[in-house]
Amino acid sequence: MCGIVGYIGTKAATSVLLKGLKCLEYRGYDSSGIALLNDSLFVCKKKGKIIELEKELNGLSKDLSTYTVGIAHTRWATHGEPSDLNAHPHVSSSGKIAVVHNGIIENFQILREKLALKGFKITTQTDSEIIAHLIEYYVDKYNDFLTGVFVALEKLEGTYGIVVVSRDYPDRIIAARNGSPLILGVGEGEIIIASDASAIVEYTRKVIYIDDREVVDIQRDSYQTYDLLQKQVEKPVEDIDWDIETIGKKGYDHFMLKEIFEQVESVKNTCRGRLLTETGTSRLDGLNLKPEDFSEIKRIILIACGTSWHSALIGEYLIEEYARIPVDVEYASEFRYKNPILTKSDLVIVISQSGETADTLAALREAKQKGVKVLGVTNIVGSTIARESDGGVYLHAGPEIGVASTKAFSSQVMVMIMIAIHFARRKDMSLESGQVLIEKIEKLPQLIQSMLDTAGDIKNIAEIYKNASNFLYLGRGVQFPVALEGALKLKEISYIHAEGYPAAEMKHGPIALIDENLPVVFIALKDSIYGKIVSNMQEVRARGGKIIAIATEGDNEISNYADHVIFVPDVDRMLSPILTVVPLQLLSYYIAVMRGCNVDQPRNLAKSVTVE
């Protein structure tokens, strides 16, 4: 959460920083600010979207073109309401130090009281402000910028990604990380530090991933990385394999709509080079599992949050169905606090689109501390989860800017399918069964396209229900997690209350909600439990509820029970979530747009949840 960008070079820093903030706005957008440095320190902060900051800067009579060093921040509020005052950067009492911060300082209240006793004037409600005062105190005490930062960091408890500038050291930027991502971009005569590569790629593809408990001292023509013991650390320079055009809207009204329609290609990219028809299996070399490991694994634990948790639930069905290995699915936010029982025969797989999700990363570390092998499934190359896992699978879905995940979800489900096949072929699945399944998987992208072709019909349904106050989503078996995901999408971007349930559970409480004002979305494919779903639909219909059904092409019976039907191609039951989720994504999108909501930047949400 929150976005950080810092620049030192020969260009006008304001332009670079504002462009960087716009690339990072999906990470937080309730306020933003900028600090520029030459022989003086200039700070400007504004509540609201980055456009408000830009307007403020454009309205100044001050010439900002001479500043070639600066830091900037776009905020997702944790401590203190969104306001000009609480926005970053935060400046120390004397005006010498400016800091931008992602994360949460857990002992800020104690530090706040101590700093107040030393005469520092605390002006904001945030935990971040105390970092600026603390650094100033120790820089003055030791008469050295880098030493002052190191000593200040020793006093902080919690998570941080911070970038600091000092009026007394106008040609330096110091950054530090502990639990909140930072990436260093190394260009020709310029260096950029940011919390996400999207702010860097316009200027350079050469990056260095800063690890936890590391500090980087950046000067105009050099940089040096240290650990917290002040020992120099040599870091490899790596290449980013995508460019700035990849994250444009490409003519779509919103990133979310673009990313829904990109699922044809993103699913192809996830599968590319990994489906082996001849041997009826999937190639996932990144798992780093030896042949003997497969026979030793007795249980798989899938850990995730939010949308990724829903893909994990689908993974549970897939792995148990095909590989016949017991699977537990855990919320990452609960896993680390329950003193989990893990054994050497367990395999933990953590799933995170960003690879930086704080709860998921903490769960990964908890599992590794207990001596269990941990695999990571993530979209971001070089992310913390990718680096700290024992192995894993990249989604290769491409950058996802819309806060509500769409194409990353379908790619996660595809990875779950490939992991299930990978394990199944090493157990009881026959060559022929594997080959048949691979052939079915290879047809999925074109079937996704057929779902996208129904967007106009879904838009018409959205028009009817755009003013509903509540929705209920129901599915059974592998469609239950899809119902959860459909409800979450609607909540996230339209602010309509929605719940997902196993359809059979409707009778155990939710049926009390049903009346003529409640739209109920059923995922009712023609499978072995179709009759059960139809019974549930009749129960809703008898109570006046309005039914939207996601049904199998050729099902002529379903219209007898549903007010609206969206057909999906007839496909293998276990593969169907990749198709059934698409109309639910589109339904949420169109309803949100019709209600005037900002679908790419829904209120109170941010793309990467890097705080607990």
**By CB neighbour count within 10 A (0-12 exposed, 13-18 middle, 19+ buried), where does 339 fall?**
exposed
State both tokens at 545.
């509820």
CA dihedral 504, 507, 513, 517 (to 10 degrees): 60
Tens digits of per-residue pLDDT, 349-408?
Answer: 999 998 988 899 999 999 999 999 999 999 988 888 999 999 999 999 988 888 899 999
**By CB neighbour count within 10 A (0-12 exposed, 13-18 middle, 19+ buried), where does 193 fall?**
buried
Q: What is the mean pLDDT of residues 316-322?
A: 97
**Run of H or E residues at 184:** strand 182-186
C-alpha distances (whole Å) from 106 to each of 4, 90, 131, 611 are 20, 18, 12, 11
Q: Determine which one of 46, 47, 546, 607 is catalytic.
A: 607
Helices and strands: H and E segment counts in the chain? 19, 27
Compute how many other C-beta atoms are within 10 angstroms of the C-beta atom of residue 84. 15
Closest by Cα among 530, 564, 560, 534 to 546: 564
φ/ψ bin of 166: left (φ > 0), alpha (ψ from -120 to 50), beta (otherwise): beta
Closest by Cα among 366, 363, 364, 382 to 374: 364
CA 493 – CA 206 distance, rounded (Å): 35
| Model confidence at 14: pLDDT above 60 | yes
Beta-bridge mates of residue 473? 500, 521
CA 238 – CA 108 distance, rounded (Å): 35
State both tokens at 160.
């941080």
Closest by Cα among 338, 315, 344, 339 to 328: 315
Contact 166, 139 (CB under 8 A): yes
With cut-offs at 50, 70 and 90, classify the pLDDT of residue 248: confident
- Contact residues for 176 (Cβ-Cβ < 8 A; gap 6+): 149, 153, 160, 161, 162, 164, 182, 214, 215, 216
Please confirm, yes or no, whether 22 is among the known catalytic residues.
no
pTM: 0.81
Closest by Cα among 561, 567, 563, 571 to 533: 561
Q: In what order do the strands lie in the sheet with 327-331?
A: 327-331, 299-304, 346-352, 373-378, 391-394
φ/ψ bin of 200: left (φ > 0), alpha (ψ from -120 to 50), beta (otherwise): alpha
Domains and their CATH numbers in the chain = 3-246 (3.60.20.10), 251-442 (3.40.50.10490), 452-600 (3.40.50.10490)
| Model confidence at 604: pLDDT above 90 | no
Residues of the chain above pLDDT 70, percent: 98
Task: Supply the pLDDT for residue 1.
Answer: 62
Contact 16, 173 (CB under 8 A): no
Q: What is the mean pLDDT of residues 145-165?
A: 95
CA 217 – CA 169 distance, rounded (Å): 12
What's the length of the chain? 612
- DSSP letters of 465-502? HTT-SEEEEEE-TTHHHHHHHHHHHHHHHH--EEEEEE
Mean pLDDT of the chain: 92
CA 94 – CA 343 distance, rounded (Å): 55
Tens digits of per-residue pLDDT, 74-131?
Answer: 987 777 888 999 999 999 989 999 999 988 898 989 999 999 999 899 999 899 999 9
**By CB neighbour count within 10 A (0-12 exposed, 13-18 middle, 19+ buried), where does 433 fall?**
middle
| Model confidence at 611: pLDDT above 60 | no
Tens digits of per-residue pLDDT, 221-245?
Answer: 899 999 999 999 999 999 887 666 6
Specify the DSSP class assigned to residue 155: H
| Model confidence at 246: pLDDT above 90 | no
Tens digits of per-residue pLDDT, 532-590?
Answer: 999 999 999 989 999 999 999 999 999 999 999 999 999 999 999 999 999 999 999 99
CA 571 – CA 579 distance, rounded (Å): 9
Please confirm, yes or no, whether 607 is among the known catalytic residues.
yes
With cut-offs at 50, 70 and 90, classify the pLDDT of residue 504: confident
- Contact residues for 58 (Cβ-Cβ < 8 A; gap 6+): none
For 32, the 3-state DSSP assignment is strand
Task: Supply the pLDDT for residue 364.
Answer: 96
Residue identified by tokens 């700070």 is 43
C-alpha distances (whole Å) from 295 to each of 281, 370, 396, 421 are 17, 20, 29, 15
Closest by Cα among 383, 444, 387 to 415: 444
Q: Are strands 327-331 and 299-304 parallel, antiparallel or unpaired?
A: parallel
